[in-house]
Amino acid sequence: MLWLALCLVLLVSIAVLALPLLRPSTVAVVGDETRMRANVDIYRQRLVELDEELASGKIQADSHAQLVAELKRNLLDSAQTQGRKAGAGYNQLWVVGVLALVVPAASIMLYFHLSPRAELNEWQVLRDTLVPEIEKVIADPSAIQQLDEKVDTRDFLRAMQHYLHVEGGSSEGWALFANLMGRFEAMPQATTAARKAYKYDPDNRLHALRFAQFELASNDGKMTPRAERVLREWAVKAPEDPGVLMLLGMGFFASERWADAVDAWEPLVRVLDKIPSDDPQHNQAVQSVKRNLSVAKARLSALAQNAHARAGLGPIAAAHAEMGVNVKPDADISADVTNTGPEGSAKVTVEVSGDPALLEKAPASAQLYIFAKAAAGPPMPLAVKKVRPTQWPVKVTLTAADAMMPAASLSEHKSVLVTARWSESGQIAMGSEGSIVSESEAVNPFEQPTVRLTLSDASSKSDETAKAALPEEPAEAITEQTLTRQISVSVSGAQSLLDQAPASARLFVVAKAVGGPPMPLAVKKVRPDAWPVTLTLTEGDAMMPASSLAQHDAVVVSALWSESGQIPMGSSSGVQRVESGTVNPLEQPRVSLSLP
């Protein structure tokens, strides 16, 4: 088949080159005929003139004969020249013959000289050799652990993909291939394979969930129309399926479709609470769903407050309407947000005034932090807002939606302190340069109070006073990073990696669960300018909110240098990888990795 295609290409190439040589020019032929007729007319006219001159005695008979002979000779030369031009196109047939020989010969020589025949032959032999192994692995996926160490994983996966295409594949084969590609973070290929597995067996629940999971992972965890269609179809078939409800909620949560996330996770929590289990991972998953459900409800309540003016709609229904969901007014839900429960009613309005000189002299980095913390509780803020004021006063509203952590919000406390901190450095930590602080007395957020604070040098607290006003915790305790599980990672490498790196090169730092799913719990991608590269992996770096560092106490961290800028499958040129030992993100460890 390949040689037939090459022959057709050669014939077309020769035809393109030869046709212009064989085709006579229409313009040239017309021009030659016109010129010949003109020459004959001139010959006849000149012959008449010579005869008249001979008759009048202007020329002698011998001169007349000589001029007539010369006139005939010129006409004959002109006719011969035109004849040679007319036959020139056909006389160039030898050029076509040469092309017919040279072009195929040159093509064949280039093919044998430049084509990687040895590599292709070697790959074909290897591919055929791996067929029995591929069939064995498809029949028994655990057999992949027994593959010969000499077999490169990348070669095996390529051979497996070719085998599935050629043999038509099967749902089990494509499902296994999807899992293997997912293990190497090749999400587009994993998604394609999972879709084929589901297409072969659309009644298989595992195939449906696998496809939806990879589809979400390929879209940064956000819901896609294809994933939503598949999951909703299965939600109709199995309304209490935990896997279906989990993925629906995860996709909607990442897409900030809060109402849909609540609709998916509320029945999921009821289902999970009915399942008794002593498995720590199960219990952690349940707590994670509940935390994320609280966040979704808080966001929904915030939308409800913004849409509160919609006539005839209660807060939840108003939030649905704000998001474009068609609902009828719910007579059982009051339009008064204070009657919607703790998350709907916990609210503190804060008005901050300050010295105009603060704004006039403020550097570009200056920020105003307004936060609330429990009057008698942990030091972490229950709600935080950061603004860059252009004039005084600044008015904001703190609600449960402003929580830094779902389990620590205004809705959990009835006595809070409100603080306004002006920071010229832009940092919230105590004692930072140029900090001015003002703090309120204890207030009840469920009474929706209005707190007025004033920032000035006279009312500013010194570092010592500020430290005394807060619980005895290190200064970092108020920063967002220390409120969550985190892993500090330092990556070093050879300078030659940076010196010779193409523009596409990237460094990936990934955390995965030990003995868990292949999907990363946290990922960061950077373009290093120098070694070492220092960064922090947190729950906020998760690809999916329900699969993050918060759900696992044993993880491994890997650093991968990729010249292509993509995470490849298996071994590949231009890729270097190094992995840490097992660490617990709850202990906020520091991991040092060195690329070979």
**Three-class secondary structure of residue 592 per DSSP:** strand
For the stretch 457-500, pLDDT in tens is: 655 544 434 433 333 333 333 333 334 578 999 999 988 888 88
H helices of 56-152, in order, are 61-86, 88-91, 93-114, 117-139
23 shares its domain with 80: yes
* Residue recorded with tokens 């593959």: 147
Question: Domain range for residue 539?
Answer: 484-594
469 shares its domain with 494: no
SS3 content of the chain, % helix, strand, coil (to 5): 55, 15, 30
Cis amide leading into 585 (omega within 30): no
- Confidence (pLDDT) at 483: 41
- Confidence (pLDDT) at 375: 80
Enter the tokens of residue 121.
Answer: 């032959």
Choosing from 69, 96, 111, the residue where a domain stops is 111
Nearest to 516 by CA among 554, 545, 460: 554
Is 465 within the bounds of a domain? yes
Distance of CA 313 to the CA centre of its chain: 38
Q: Give the Cα-Cα-Cα angle 210, 212, 213 (nearest 5 degrees).
A: 65
- Confidence (pLDDT) at 322: 44
Q: Give the Cα-Cα-Cα angle 197, 203, 208 (nearest 5 degrees).
A: 50
**Three-class secondary structure of residue 443 per DSSP:** strand
Q: Which residues of the chain have pLDDT under 50?
A: 25-30, 88-90, 307-344, 430-431, 461-483, 570-571
Choosing from 111, 137, 153, the residue where a domain stops is 111
CB 181 within 8 A of CB 144: no
Which DSSP state fits 583? Answer: E
Is 443 within the bounds of a domain? yes
Report the relative pairing of strands 533-538 and 522-526 from DSSP bridges. unpaired
* Distance in angstroms (rounded) separating the CA atoms of residues 251 and 416: 34
Choosing from 111, 146, 180, the residue where a domain stops is 111
Is 276 within the bounds of a domain? no
525 shares its domain with 569: yes
Dihedral sign from CA coordinates of 467, 471, 476, 478:
negative
357 shares its domain with 469: yes
Is 209 within the bounds of a domain? no
**Three-class secondary structure of residue 187 per DSSP:** helix
- Number of domains comprising the chain: 3
52 shares its domain with 30: yes
* Distance in angstroms (rounded) separating the CA atoms of residues 373 and 382: 5
439 shares its domain with 424: yes
- Confidence (pLDDT) at 81: 65
495 shares its domain with 446: no
348's torsion region: left (phi>0), alpha (psi -120 to 50) or beta?
A: beta
CB 72 within 8 A of CB 50: no
* Distance in angstroms (rounded) separating the CA atoms of residues 171 and 136: 15
* Residue recorded with tokens 């590609």: 181
* Distance in angstroms (rounded) separating the CA atoms of residues 430 and 570: 47
Number of H-type helices and E-type strands within the chain: 19, 14
457 shares its domain with 506: no
Nearest to 305 by CA among 341, 266, 345: 345
* Distance in angstroms (rounded) separating the CA atoms of residues 135 and 156: 12
Is 198 within the bounds of a domain? no
Is 558 within the bounds of a domain? yes
- Confidence (pLDDT) at 361: 86
Enter the tokens of residue 246.
Answer: 């989990």
410 shares its domain with 518: no
Phi, psi (5° rounding) for residue 435?
Answer: -90, 135
For the stretch 241-250, pLDDT in tens is: 999 999 999 8
Is 184 within the bounds of a domain? no
28 shares its domain with 64: yes
- Confidence (pLDDT) at 151: 67
495 shares its domain with 522: yes
Is 157 within the bounds of a domain? no
374 shares its domain with 472: yes
CB 232 within 8 A of CB 212: no
Residue 435's CATH number: 2.60.40.1120
- Confidence (pLDDT) at 559: 92
CB 584 within 8 A of CB 481: no
Instruction: Give the N- to C-terminal CA distance of the chain in Å, as an integer.
Output: 45
585's torsion region: left (phi>0), alpha (psi -120 to 50) or beta?
A: alpha
